[in-house]
Structure 1
Amino acid sequence: MDDAEIERRADADPDAGLIPPGFWDPASPASVETKEQITLRLDVDGLRHFQSAGKGYQSRINVVLKSYVRAQEKRR
C-alpha cells in the first residue's frame, strides 16, 4: 500500500479524524521496568517446559520468579 492509498483510506474512514492541536502535549513516556542481563543455569527439564510454550519463555520464567518473590514477601 502506498502513501496515496493510505491517505484515501483514512479520508474514507468515518472514525478517522484530525487530532486536535495540543492533544499529545500532556503525554509522557511510560516508565519501563529495567532488567539486568545475567547468566543463569537451569535444569534442562524446567527450561524445556518453559520453551515448549514458544517465544517469550524468558519472560514467563521471570513472571514465575516474581510471583515466588511476592509470595515470600507476604509470608514475612
Structure 2
Amino acid sequence: MVYLVVPQPRQRVSLRVDQGVLDFFKTEGKGYQTRMNAVLRAYMQAKKAG
C-alpha cells in the first residue's frame, strides 16, 4: 500500500552542527538540508517507536 505524505511547512532555525557533519552532507550535493532533515526525522520516529 502506498501512503501519501503531505510535507509540513518548514521553519527556519539556526542550528549549530560540527563542521565535519556539515561537510559530509554538502559533499553529497544539492539538497543537503533536506537530507539532514530526513535523518533527524528518522531518528525522531525511531525514538518514538521505542
| TMscore range, shorter length | 0.7 to 0.9
TM-score by length of 2: 0.84
Q: Which has the higher contact order (CA 8 A, sep 6+)?
A: 2
Structure 2 distance, partners of 1:32, 1:68, is 17
Give percent identity, aligned residues only.
Answer: 36
Query: Among residues 2, 5, 8, which one is paired with 1:33 in the alignment?
Result: 8
Unpaired runs of 5+ residues, structure 2, are 1-5
What count of residue pairs does the alignment treat as equivalent?
45
For residue 33 of structure 1, report the CA deviation from its aligned partner.
1.4
> Does 2:42 correspond to 1:42?
no
Q: Which has the higher helix share?
A: 2
CA offsets per residue over residues 16-45 of structure 1, 9 Å max, x none? xxxxxxxxxxxxxxx541110000000000
CA RMSD of aligned residues (A): 1.0
CA offsets per residue over residues 1-60 of structure 1, 9 Å max, x none? xxxxxxxxxxxxxxxxxxxxxxxxxxxxxx541110000000000110000011100000
Residue 70 of structure 1 is matched in structure 2 by 45
